[in-house]
Structure 1
């Protein structure tokens, strides 16, 4: 579906609404949908609302559902996210992020050829979004300038996945696309493939460089399709001269044969990135290929993982209308991976060409990206908790603690407010090379540690070998050189890269005059303080810290005792961050020495007397009276009621579960049962439900019957669970909810007025409150998720409800993908 933009046309007849959203002005109007500037009174923010026409046919409705499903699974800064999808009476609507800026087609009107670097930068952003979608099995199929938004921040965003296709789905035989951008194989009716989007991206890049479409479009659909399938594209003669390499890229991407194009959107993106790299940028560091190899691994595996608790808190802050940019910046700074990803993003060419310049603080980066951009960035990262090798994940967490303490110390030793965030980043990023090596080259990093450990014993006075020399011997370059090479490839500012690079000479005996050089010495002093805690005798820590303070006092114009007080304060801060980030070092791990030492305390057992071993205490929700056939708990077991999780805890667990499901489904192949059990377990634990029952349609009877039960007595309930949703007149509340596809929450399941509407098998075991979450395909129910609580009411906010529905929708997507 195409939408022709109409600039801020006032809504007729006063304010209109769909759901809770106020429709304020028409932004675009197409044959079957209208896009409105909307207002969300609940979250107090502008949104874009696409309302499907009331007389739209079934095919348009399917496209709407496809757009909602496809886009909801694509959390990427370059893809306009879907906030909600719902129906209000006959009005079916989608709610998107409001992007302040024109479409690319509007931007190109009267512009003429776009500068080559600007065109390449913009298309690199588009291809990055496409590569993300392709990796998750989604092909856009209708890429064109009117489906690209260019925000006021200069970033390109891909939108309108209305006719997107899942690679896992059978081809429906339709020919979809727009003349001038449709690929030859799409015009010939072949099954969707990523190569179709590569072709369209090539046509768009050529149009940006030429200031006009690559070739005239003949009148009539049949003629346009014949042109695409039968005629090779020829570079237009007499047009504006274009760089030979860029012209070659366009012609390769638009080859009539798919196998002659770039193998993927990611390969096309990387080719543009290579062209954009300044000619004087060194291809590798130290004369070795280690950096190139690292960059290839990074492209394959992505940035190293973040902590799920950090992502959860950032999602909460970005969803709030009362939190400040400073609060969001503070949350980002607590996570090393997110900080690095953000700085990398904002120092790319796409921000420089809109006048943003070099960005050296997270505060400024946050202001530039905005809450929605930060939210999408956080959702796009892999989580440490989801790494298969948890020993490796634990090692990464320990390195994060070292980096955070170094950054915090550098901050503590910096006297001026203006410098302090830059100081924190300089200290944190001084560990970049070490962390990169640990994540991408874990075997080599372990070899470096082992050789350093074997070669010297500090308690006998012998110095351990220089880590830089050992790393250079094992990797081909030192950790500092590795970090510098990565920082340079990311485009981080020169001053930040200089701060990361600690001085190697002796500490000066006089004040360091240059501010940037003084910062480098603060970073080095902070790193040495961390090493004192890690490698020194704890009994000698105060003595060694004072000696370090005396060595650095003149160079940094600080009193020697300041270093000791800074270390104490930084350790307290780190301990608090470790708790909030849920990083718990192993009992014998050296990194535990970095945390603030807790006062000695005698071990205790909460709620139990010493020596009381005659009863087992099991923490679980209080059970309802046992239904017939359900065994009661043993007398030797005390069942204690557990309060449902707090809203904050619920959001954290649900968000982490959604990320885990997304990661699992992104694999080339996944097991449906594995995904389904993961979703149900997340729902069960995330909102503290007593029972969760999953029902599936029986192919013989057409009824929904219980298949999986989680929680006390849920297995027995699943055996009795039957819902007749065959229609047209449902016999009970369960059947009505399923036929309508309506999520239904019942506050008092034991109400006498409700009783007659409940299924007979359920009336004797009705819960205090329960909820029905139907799962629909092609307008018909095929499954149902039932949840309940026995002794407490269901009580969760809009955010938790949205996350719950997202999990349900992921289950629907899993069934569709599994065929």
Structure 2
């Protein structure tokens, strides 16, 4: 008997569409690849998994979908058609917009992290725009993204998986609440998408992200954190961003698509080496409102006195150092003047020398260029800045007390301040981001499984909010001010997870001394029960490298009231030609 070919399967249809392939099936929606013979083209058809349960529900569905159609954004796919077949509503999109993320990952299973971040950032831009307009997606899946040949991403399926309410409900009364709650779930699902792409495998071995959400804490018992076995190494900032997006604690996650986008875009810009993201925003703000507001009033009265020239230079420099903004402005101006006059590789951090070089007129100009306290800050943010400046001042005093003999106290003071430059600028220019970082550093609530849960480090929290760390912000500004490479190295704190080795140079000694002081003051900011342990831990880290013990540390933290102040003349004992001289003075005086 001759072999015959099997009969072709019967053609499946949905209204006038020919169903070609099921691209995605989740608990809430279906996505089909279809052919429309009326127009002779392929489309992508999105429809809810369940039929609306009443005529009013169908009318509400169509009204919401048509409202979403009116939202125009480059990262939101425009619907080709909205309709219904036997009370089954649908939204159709042009297949030419691109392939789904599912299809891209099948063809390219291990995209680079920078590409993954670019796709998700585009998705978040469109999603944030939709959320702002009062619409939600409610079922973001790997098939909800379409990517074209030039890697442009568009979101499909907006308002397809609508909230299911009883047939008698007043839709207008519940829609606003439902959209707000659904928007937060959208953001969580985008975090799961990022996790899926970076890990190279389905999250919790589930293809339906809604099933993952139901298994995650606090609803379920599962934790979703990016593992270490990934197709490509994941940079620490991107890892922190991804893990924050799926954190087990609701309060730690991104609640707004725009906040998630800002962090991701900040990392992408920094990773592309174009000084973008928060660094560009910060430098722009520096041009418009300066670095910090001045805490000094009446400088013109102080500098206008006829007897000022007769005063000892140390008295004037001591006055200037009490104003953090003014001292940083003098550092910027004097070192720019050095650079302009052709003196490369020299940095002045001694206020006496800076004032001598700039003169009283230069000091007055510097003071006049600063905004008065508190600048544009509202009262609460101004108080946070004041507290931060007080902690930095305390750290500078501790560093001066701990510095080895012969090192210029003013230099140590200013390096300690500049090791906090990124923190100070963040609090002044981006107080909301600074508050987010502080909130992320609060330890999560204890559970039976984790009675002493670890808190997020400042670096990880900054990565999760800004996409870069605070040292990077400070270094970018110092570089913008034209400060030398040697100083740029000294103003980077010793990493908390790195061993402290004995210094090999004056620069190492200064950097480690100031880092030590900053860590000690950070320890004092911990809850009272942990302060002593924090101080002792920091002392153990630096004791061998700097030759200090707990007794010297406690004296530096709690100086005796009768202890005489350090004499300025003692600084002259530094050996000529050393880094100490190059930082504090240039030439003879």
User: Which range, TM-score by smaller chain?
Assistant: 0.3 to 0.5
Which structure is higher in helix share? 2
TM-score, normalised via structure 1 length: 0.33
Which structure is higher in strand share? 1
TM-score, normalised via structure 2 length: 0.45
Greater relative CO (CA pairs within 8 A, separation 6+) = 2
